Amino acid sequence: MKILDLFGVDGYGVVVTGGASGIGLGYAEALASNGARVTLLDVDAERIDKETKRLSGEGFDIRGEVVDVTDHAALDAAIDDAARTYGKLDVVFANAGIDPGVGFVGDWVGEQRPRIAKGAIENYTDERWNRVIDINLNGIFATVRAAVRHMKPRKSGHIIVTSSLASTRVEPAIGAAYMAAKAGVVQFMRTVALEVAAYNITVNAIAPGYIVTNIGGGHAHDPEEQRAVARVIPSHRIGYPEDLYGLALFFASRASDYITGQEVIIDGGYGLGVAD
């Protein structure tokens, strides 16, 4: 058995939501640079344009479409388009998500303890709560539903959802609705995995810890924040989308064919506690 027989994705038809930035863009690069044909779906038209041009320029098979995952009809149409283009859909990353900003638990990360007062639950608006649930949970539901519609008839496919360390751990620096949405994503992932296992479709979750991306206004690019967070991560470094390449290829390829309904945390040990 050669490595490419196990981990190869050459010619695969792939869709990534939230694919124009950060972790989704990383998934796209990991697969496209190994011969997969990848469609980026994202609400950010400028980034879609920039990244599809850049990756096409590198010789990768990339297309992009502007889609808001809260618009389920548009999302269905875009996934149908991708499947039509490739003649099949092998892999779907349900990844688009937002961090709504701190509250109601606390408002600071790093060496200081989170402060409790600002953004308390009494002041948390329906609008804020619903927006997060709409994108981070309902968007994942709609993406996975569209993927299954294409994969079930072919009795083949790999679906990967992006959850978070926040699916099990309360992270005061992130908006409170985020925790509920991510926990929901994981249990939803397990439920779908059980339903579609007989159709040779796997459904798994990648749960990143602290990864430098543009989420939450891009605060993770701040060197001071990076130093503070690296200090409390047991491996003493922050993560980058490249750190997810291996797991993305694993879950997308036949190497993981007999694994389904699982969440794998990838966080440099952040969720374990402090080692020194």
Ligand X SMILES: NC(=O)c1ccc[n+]([C@@H]2O[C@H](COP(=O)([O-])OP(=O)(O)OC[C@H]3O[C@@H](n4cnc5c(N)ncnc54)[C@H](O)[C@@H]3O)[C@@H](O)[C@H]2O)c1
Residues with Cβ within 8 Å of residue 84, at least 6 apart in sequence: none
Catalytic option among 12, 27, 86, 178: 178
Of the pair 8, 206, the CB lying nearest ligand X is at 206
* Smallest separation, CB 200 to ligand X (Å): 26
What DSSP string runs through the chain? --HHHHH--TT-EEEEETTTSHHHHHHHHHHHTTT-EEEEEES-HHHHHHHHHHHHHTT-EEEEEE--TT-HHHHHHHHHHHHHHHTS--EEEE-------S-SS-S--SSSPPPSSTT-GGG--HHHHHHHIIIIIIHHHHHHHHHHHHHHHHT-EEEEEE--GGGTS--TTS-HHHHHHHHHHHHHHHHHHHHHGGGTEEEEEEEE-SB-SSGGGGGGG-HHHHHHHHHHSTTSS-B-GGGGHHHHHHHHSGGGTT--S-EEEESTTGGG----
For residue 132, which phi and psi values (nearest 5 degrees)?
A: -65, -45
Of the pair 136, 256, the CB lying nearest ligand X is at 136
Of the pair 8, 91, the CB lying nearest ligand X is at 91
Of the pair 8, 51, the CB lying nearest ligand X is at 51
* Smallest separation, CB 257 to ligand X (Å): 24
Of the pair 9, 205, the CB lying nearest ligand X is at 205
Site of interaction with ligand X (CB under 6 A): 17-18, 20-24, 42-44, 47, 67-70, 95-98, 135, 139, 162, 164, 208, 210-211, 213-215
Residues with Cβ within 8 Å of residue 224, at least 6 apart in sequence: 110
* Smallest separation, CB 276 to ligand X (Å): 23
Residue 134 burial class via C-beta count within 10 angstroms: exposed 0-12, middle 13-18, buried 19 and up:
middle
* Smallest separation, CB 156 to ligand X (Å): 25
* Smallest separation, CB 99 to ligand X (Å): 6
Whether 178 is a known active-site residue: answer yes
Please count the other Cβ atoms lying within 10 Å of the Cβ belonging to residue 113. Answer: 9
* Smallest separation, CB 214 to ligand X (Å): 4
Of the pair 8, 135, the CB lying nearest ligand X is at 135
Active site residues: 178
